[in-house]
């Protein structure tokens, strides 16, 4: 009796899937790829991106676009300090990033957002609207999954470290839109999410390898029961393979890192009482992101902290910033150093941003409110030129004064680091219509950075 080769949901069989995966990496077969990695220590063999989402809208005036000459209700309570890039200053609570300014670039003239708490803007570059193609717009990770496929067998191309949140728009896992669930993210910490999950394991529990492996053993047992039934489609088999992959479990097991590396990231977790609607500050999530791309993941999203600081009774903007900024300073600096020391900065790009900025004027409660007209983005690695300060805002940081950069320009740049040309790359929607990844006519990669 002949046995038909199982096919994935897009009609590609397993053999062809591996061949296509090889072609996406320059025609190399898997053995050739592994050999090339062995001969080039520190190189991934694929391009990857880590997106760090600062949920709630970080205060651009109190971080990377300070206005020390403005009046007190504009400049706030913090003072600027010099950095390793002449003429560029950052907040006094970011001393580690100040000494590393030559290793990253900052966009200070970012625009293109609306006053809406939603990670959708940072995942897609588009404004959330009911008027979308059937199925909705896919996010960057889903596009990359579709165009590039898996870099390693048993490792999903797209992973989100987004935990379950009270505010659902902050906790979107990454819409796969009209590309379908085959290109949805793997979500290991989104307990209860409608996604592939390691259910019951929170980010703070990844250090417990015994519990992680016990949960995976239970999932393997479930997978064996499922596989006994006829009619299990190829996508389900692929999903179960990813779910029980030892590579994925190893990547999430940060206890495999040296004590020096763990100390570099600082460990710990901070969660403000009464702020249960957003993500915690957990620098080990950044470490897990590095381990994931090293294991073969192409895009990783990390939700980091709660930056929506309107003022009392939840503390002023500046009280919250004094709590958040030291964690942020240490965590992002650690990621910078870690990628560089391991030689991964050549292949891994990183973007750090929130959905919008904050009001230039401090309100009566000591907070800063939503301000979509101006924001910042930090970028480094993956071929992005470091030590650049792109654009500026006017004297009150209200709006771009020169070199405005749209969020979709940032996406064009990130796609470029992943080897994707937004001027030519398209994917088909549900109706078979080719769709560009961004509005490629109006927005383009940032030439100063790549």
pLDDT tens digit sequence for 292-337: 999 999 999 999 999 999 998 889 999 999 999 999 999 999 999 9
- For the chain, domains (ranges, CATH) are 48-206+246-436 (3.40.720)
Alpha carbons 351 and 301: distance in angstroms, whole number: 10
Angle, CA of 259, 263 and 267, to the nearest 5°: 115
pLDDT band (50, 70, 90) for residue 239: low
Instruction: Tell me the average pLDDT across 373-391.
Output: 98
Instruction: Tell me the average pLDDT across 347-375.
Output: 97
Burial tier of 432 (Cβ tally within 10 Å: 0-12, 13-18, 19+): exposed
Cβ neighbours of residue 313 under 8 Å, at least 6 residues apart? Answer: none
Global confidence as pTM: 0.83
446 pLDDT more than 50: yes
User: Helix, strand or coil for residue 392?
Assistant: strand
pLDDT in tens, 204-231: 444 455 555 566 566 556 555 555 544 4
Q: Which of 268, 265, 21 minimizes the C-alpha distance to 149?
A: 21
Prior bond of 352 cis (ω within 30°): no
* C-alpha separations of 54 from 59, 278, 332, 423 in Å: 10, 10, 12, 29
Predicted pLDDT of residue 377: 98
Predicted pLDDT of residue 31: 46
DSSP 162: P
CA dihedral 185, 176, 328, 395 (to 10 degrees): 170
Q: Decide the pairing of beta strands 348-353 and 375-381.
A: antiparallel
Alpha carbons 207 and 262: distance in angstroms, whole number: 11
More confident residue, 436 or 250: 436
pLDDT band (50, 70, 90) for residue 250: confident
Alpha carbons 247 and 152: distance in angstroms, whole number: 9
Instruction: Tell me the average pLDDT across 161-184.
Output: 84
Predicted pLDDT of residue 438: 96
What's the length of the chain? Answer: 450
End-to-end CA distance of the chain: 56
pLDDT band (50, 70, 90) for residue 246: confident
More confident residue, 118 or 94: 94
Predicted pLDDT of residue 44: 86
Alpha carbons 377 and 276: distance in angstroms, whole number: 25
DSSP 384: P
User: Helix, strand or coil for residue 299?
Assistant: strand
Alpha carbons 123 and 192: distance in angstroms, whole number: 21
pLDDT in tens, 392-423: 999 999 999 999 999 999 999 999 999 999 99
pLDDT in tens, 258-293: 999 999 998 655 555 445 566 678 899 999 999 999
Q: Estimate the share of the chain in helix, then strand, then coil, as percent rounded to the nearest 5.
A: 35, 15, 50
Alpha carbons 415 and 299: distance in angstroms, whole number: 11
């Amino acid at each position: 009796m002949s046995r038909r080769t199982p096919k994935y949901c897009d009609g590609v069989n397993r053999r062809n899937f591996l061949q296509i995966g090889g072609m996406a990496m320059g025609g190399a077969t898997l053995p050739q790829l592994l050999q090339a990695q062995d001969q080039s220590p520190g190189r991934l063999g694929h391009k990857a991106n880590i997106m760090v989402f600062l949920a709630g809208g970080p205060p651009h005036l109190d971080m990377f676009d300070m206005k020390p000459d403005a009046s007190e209700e504009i400049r706030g309570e913090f003072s600027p300090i010099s950095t390793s890039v002449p003429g560029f200053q950052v907040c006094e609570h970011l001393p580690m990033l100040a000494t590393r300014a030559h290793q990253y670039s900052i966009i200070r003239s970012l625009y293109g957002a609306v006053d809406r708490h939603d990670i959708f803007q940072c995942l897609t570059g588009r404004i959330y609207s009911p008027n979308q193609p059937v199925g909705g717009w896919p996010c960057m990770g889903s596009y990359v999954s579709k165009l590039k496929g898996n870099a390693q067998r048993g490792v999903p191309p797209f992973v989100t470290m987004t935990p379950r949140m009270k505010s659902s728009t902050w906790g979107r896992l990454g819409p796969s839109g009209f590309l379908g669930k085959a290109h949805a993210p793997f979500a290991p910490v989104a307990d209860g999410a409608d996604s592939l999950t390691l259910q019951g394991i929170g980010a703070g529990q990844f250090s417990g390898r015994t519990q992680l492996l016990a949960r995976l053993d239970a999932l393997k047992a479930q997978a064996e029961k499922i596989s006994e039934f006829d009619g299990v489609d190829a996508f389900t088999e692929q999903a179960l393979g990813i779910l029980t992959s030892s590579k994925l479990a190893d990547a999430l097991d940060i206890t495999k890192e040296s004590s020096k590396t763990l100390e570099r990231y600082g460990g710990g977790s901070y969660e403000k009482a009464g702020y249960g609607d957003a993500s915690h500050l957990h620098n080990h999530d950044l470490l897990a992101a590095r381990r994931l791309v090293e294991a073969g993941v192409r895009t990783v999203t990390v939700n980091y902290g709660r930056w929506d600081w309107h003022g009392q009774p939840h503390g002023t903007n500046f009280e919250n910033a004094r709590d958040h900024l030291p964690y942020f300073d240490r965590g992002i600096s650690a990621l910078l150093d870690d990628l560089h020391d391991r030689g991964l900065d050549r292949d891994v790009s990183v973007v750090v941003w929130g959905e919008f900025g904050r009001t230039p004027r401090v309100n009566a409660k000591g907070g800063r409110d939503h301000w979509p007209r101006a924001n910042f983005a930090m970028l480094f690695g993956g071929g992005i030129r470091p030590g650049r300060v792109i654009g500026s805002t006017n004297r009150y940081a209200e709006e771009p004064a020169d070199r405005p950069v749209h969020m979709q320009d940032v996406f064009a740049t990130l796609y470029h680091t992943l080897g994707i040309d937004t001027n030519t790359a398209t994917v088909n929607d549900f109706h078979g219509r080719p769709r560009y990844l961004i509005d490629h006519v109006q927005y383009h990669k940032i030439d100063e950075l790549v």
